[in-house]
Amino acid sequence: MTYLPWALCAWLFAIGLYGMATSRDYLHLIGCLSVCQSSTYVLLLSIGFRTGASSPVFHDHPPGVPAVDPVMQALALTDIVVGAAVTALLLAMVIQVCKRRGTIDPQRLKPMQPLDP
């Protein structure tokens, strides 16, 4: 048992959140959101990992062969799909904001208030 994946996961989450909170460009912010999200992939895969086990596909090797945990892989896969959907939605909204406000700086955009100078 190594603590490296856990530390990496915490670091990715923290650095992603920091990047988002201080971002001056929505494209950068969306990138940071993806970094944040990749922390969960690391976490999930490290939870499901078994040393010396193969992938959980039993098509070409007999049952009983040790395999990594497929539940965690299913979780990670679901999250990737959702992450792609959210990223696409965010990018679409950013394009529309850019058309209407002429800026994509998160620190200038406030709902229901005029644009800061």
Work out whether 40 is an interface residue with another protein (CB under 8 A): yes
Q: Is 2 in the site for another protein (CB under 8 A)?
A: no
Tokens 């909170």 correspond to what residue?
21
Note the helical H segments in 22-116: 26-48, 70-101
By CB under 8 A, is residue 50 in contact with another protein?
A: no
Q: Is 106 in the site for another protein (CB under 8 A)?
A: yes
* Contact code string over 60-89 relative to another protein, x by CB under 8 A: -----------xx-xx--xx--x--xx--x
Q: Least distance from C-beta 57 to another protein, angstroms?
A: 17
104: amino acid identity, one letter:
I
Size of the chain in residues: 117
E strands present in the chain = none
In the complex, what is the shortest distance from the CB of residue 60 to another protein, in angstroms, rounded to a whole number? 23
| Three-state secondary structure call for residue 68 | coil
